[in-house]
Amino acid sequence: MQLKGIGALALLVLAAIPARALEERIILSPGLPTQLAQPRPPVQALPRGAASFGDWTVDGAALRRGWRGAPEYAITYEHYAVEHTTDLLLHFDDPVLSDEAGEWSVTVGRSFGVDRERASFSPAAASFNGPDSELRLDPGPRALLSRDSRFRDFTIEFWLYPANAENGEVLLKWQSIRKAGKDALAQQLSCVISHGKITWSFFGFFVAPEGRSRDGTPFPAETSIDLEARSPLIPRVWTHQLLRFDGDSGLLEYLVNGLPEAMTHVTSTGHEGGTVFEPAIGGVSPLFVAANFSGLMDEFRITRDFVSAPKLAPFSTEAAIVISPIADLGFTNSRLIGIDAAFRTPGSTGIELCYRIADDAAGWKLDSPAWIPFRSGSSLPDPARGRFVQLRAELFSDGLGSQTPSLSAITLRFEPDPPPPPPSKFLAIVKNSGIELRWSAVPVEDLGGYLIYYGEHPGEYFGKDAIEGPSPVDAGKNLSLNLSGLANGKLYYLSVASYDAAARRVAGGDPTARAGEFSQEVSARPSRTAP
């Protein structure tokens, strides 16, 4: 599966006021530009080491405005993309319109706008309110309705949301003149609301082939076709409108929501089997959209083919994937108590959640280590321990693809497991070719031992001279250690750190993985004259 898309990260780490005194929280929420971010209350400073890195990774999901404008992930809208048969494609996602196919120029009326609240098939829909809001579409030289254009198959489709469905409202209108010898013949294509129903009309749009019919009678020079819907148009309800023409059979068909409403055959007989008439364009003329209409329109498309399977649902029925950044709990062996996901699942939509946790995130892949399913808000098993956590969500639309779930935040509740503090007292006693070190005990229950660090420069503990081994030297739970084999006359800098019992269980048993902070640094210079 190829993953795509990246969203910004908003990270908050909260000190909780819960029943567990040590419980802390990290909130991961998908981010948008600052002006779209939901304001949040002030929070305390981040615990030492707590952070997050990487980006949100998604496949089939996208950011959108959610509840009260806060960003959330939802399944991506099933937009049409430009294909080789696409003649015109308008998404209406932005008030500044352009034809995605690049074949038409678009001019918007003064009152034209976009509506983001009632859009159902994309982030926004075109909003019309009478003649001042109409769209003027001027065809380019390669457009379907360009001068002297000849073509066979075509489809016009769009989503419609009428405010009132009043008699006489004009959805589409195109008029031109075609020369036929010495004659100038009028042409017209229109889509209007008449008596509560939609009627498609074509006059002089389809042209008879040259010659005569089989019985010797000449073909008519002009054709007039009307397709009236059987069902009334319901105000304030979205419907998918589609008109398609098959140049092989002459079938001209009008469908609403994928179901036939009216049909005819543009042939010499008016039925299947006659000589097929074909579209023929005369002079260049603009196509007007919503010339006199109040309501919304979305996903307007014209193609050079007979569309047999239009997209009738806004969302895919395949699962979308959302993977969070990797959260760093600050310390290895931290206990992940629970995960709370803020999400919405309208209707029969659903979300499946998984997590993975480890002390080392190096080498993580999409499916390795394995994802563990969990239920939001429920306690996790005690073995859920580690430093790095990542979340994965699968988003499922309803069976029809008409609704999408959404994910807006993930809260990790955890108990950090910091290593023990360093000894409060640390003493170095000079010896011949060595240094004797003593320190105070650290009173913690899960103490694993002490590490002695040494080196030749302040704060740089990379020494290798001691017979006991290179820095750091594991002293176990002893409170003293002799470093021997050191060079007399050389000044050494030393520090001690504690580690806890968890060091034997994590990071391959390496005690440095669970070592805490350094103690106060001391220095000593071995000498032959030392006792």
Which amino acid, 234?
A: I
Phi, psi of 375 (to 5 degrees): -110, 130
Residue 365 pairs in a beta bridge with 368
149 and 124 inside one domain: yes
CB 86 within 8 A of CB 143: no
70 and 101 inside one domain: no
Rounded to whole angstroms, how far apart are CA atoms 232 and 515? Answer: 76
Binned at pLDDT 50, 70 and 90, residue 380 comes out as confident
Mapped onto helix, strand or coil, the DSSP state of residue 69 is: helix
Kindly state the average pLDDT of the residues 20-24: 65
Q: Which H helix or E strand runs over 243?
A: strand 239-245
Range of the domain at 182: 86-303
Rounded to whole angstroms, how far apart are CA atoms 106 and 91? Answer: 12
Q: Is residue 80 part of a domain?
A: no
Rounded to whole angstroms, how far apart are CA atoms 244 and 265? Answer: 11
> HSE of 89 in the Cβ direction (CA atoms, 13 Å)?
14
109 and 215 inside one domain: yes
User: Which pair of tokens denotes residue 24?
Assistant: 């802390």
Chain-centroid distance of CA 246 in Å reads 38
CB 263 within 8 A of CB 272: no
Lookup result for tokens 């005194």: 21
User: Which stretch of 25-39, 218-232, 325-339, 432-446 has the lowest confidence by average pLDDT?
Assistant: 25-39
Q: What is the mean pLDDT of the chain?
A: 87
Rounded to whole angstroms, how far apart are CA atoms 21 and 31? Answer: 30
- How many domains are contained in the chain? 3
Rounded to whole angstroms, how far apart are CA atoms 468 and 480? Answer: 13
Instruction: Identify which of 208, 213, 222, 187 has the alpha carbon closest to the alpha carbon of residue 278.
Output: 208
Binned at pLDDT 50, 70 and 90, residue 208 comes out as confident
Kindly state the average pLDDT of the residues 161-179: 95
Q: Is residue 530 part of a domain?
A: no
Q: 506: domain CATH number?
A: 2.60.40.10
Instruction: Identify which of 270, 266, 335 has the alpha carbon closest to the alpha carbon of residue 306.
Output: 266
Residue 19 has pLDDT above 70, yes or no: no
371 and 503 inside one domain: no
Q: 411: domain CATH number?
A: 2.60.120
100 and 71 inside one domain: no
CB 165 within 8 A of CB 233: yes
Instruction: Identify which of 143, 338, 125 has the alpha carbon closest to the alpha carbon of residue 240.
Output: 125
